Amino acid sequence: MRHLRWLLAASALLVASRNAPAQQAAKAAPPPGYAGSATCVDCHKKEIGGFMASPKGKLLMQHPRDEKERLGCESCHGPGKQHAESGGEERGALIYFSKKTKTPVAERNAACLQCHEKTARVFWKGSAHESRNVACTDCHTMMHPESERANLRKDNVMATCARCHATQVAKQTHYSHMPVAQGKMECTSCHNPHGSPNEKLLIATSTNETCYTCHMEKRGPYLWEHAPVVESCANCHDSHGSAHEKMLKVSRPRLCQQCHASSGHPIAPRGTTLPADAQFVFNRQCSTCHFNIHGSNHPNGAYFNR
């Protein structure tokens, strides 16, 4: 605990010593081409009022840490002197983020990335969303956020993603699904929409490692491993939802019969006669006996039935 206290105290001192000159500088005259936030307030009082109350507004407008943040409104919107001097008639070099903007997406995104191209956004450039010309402001809004976190345009992550990913979101209404609609998970629990070095913008290096963040019991390694399980959970499951139990892509026993074509009971096109077909077609089907299908640590578990 003593070390933690020293670390916190040192950090606080560092922050305080850095903020003090920045706060003084905030009152300095704006650089050439810039109008200064005070000028913006004259005409945009309503918009700025809401922004001022937000954490980002407090940082930029009241407690800037460096020259960039000291520009206030213009740290994102760019130099506005020409716009101000024309009485709002001319756009000048301003960057607009509104629905009717003519500012190219790349230019708008660059304004955000000048501060946010780090941590979770480090892979934005070249990402699937960047290459499809998605703007930061397609999902986020600084002035009128509808969400509790992340300044989203919709009131939650799923609704935000639904704008383009209707198929995945529709699966949330299927018979089996993860508790995303119930607010216990978000699309961002598994995906990083800002870019990732991994397939499907996953947060972990593979599908399985993403699933293991919650389902760590599946990680193993096991004495007896099931090859398609080791390679990808998505071989059998549709993680967005399915009409089948346990988010399976196809109903058992057909799911298993896709691969298990050797002799014996797996290949028979079993019918629905009780009790002869009971454990093959009804209830847990193949998993009645082969319940350890994700892997077994039992010395006799080669067939995943122990």
Residues within window 39-58 making contact with other proteins, judged by CB under 8 A: 49-50, 52-53, 55-56, 58
Say which DSSP state 242 is in: B
User: How many whole angstroms separate alpha carbon 120 and alpha carbon 160?
Assistant: 18
- Count of positions (residues) in the chain: 306
Interatomic CA distance for residues 112 and 106, integer angstroms: 10
105, 139 contact by CB (below 8 A): no
DSSP-assigned letters across all residues of 123-187? T-TTSHHHHTT--HHHHB-SSS--SSSTTBSSSSHHHHHHTT-HHHHHGGGSSB--TTTTTS--G
Segment interacting with other proteins (CB under 8 A) among 29-37, 70-78, 80-88, 261-269: 261-269
- For the chain, state the CA radius of gyration: 27
| Closest distance to other proteins from the beta carbon of 33 (Å) | 20
Which of the residues 65 through 94 are near other proteins (CB under 8 A)? 65-66, 69
Name the residue nearer to other proteins (CB basis): 86 or 205. Answer: 205
**Residue 200 sits in the site that holds other proteins (CB under 8 A):** no
Binding string, residues 179-198; x marks residues near other proteins by CB under 8 A: x--xxx------------xx
Q: With CB under 8 A as the contact rule, which of the stretches 25-33, 35-43, 86-94, 279-287 interacts with other proteins?
A: 279-287
The Cα–Cα gap between 290 and 256 comes to 11
Instruction: Assign residue 9 a region (left: φ > 0; alpha: ψ between -120 and 50; beta: otherwise).
Output: alpha
Least Å distance, CB 85 to other proteins, is: 26
For residues 220-249, which are near other proteins according to CB under 8 A? 220-225, 227-228, 230-232, 235, 242-244, 249
Task: Find the binding residues for other proteins in span 132-171 (CB under 8 A).
Answer: 132-133, 146-148, 155, 163-164, 166-167, 170-171
Q: Site for other proteins (CB under 8 A): which residue of 44, 76, 101, 239?
A: 101
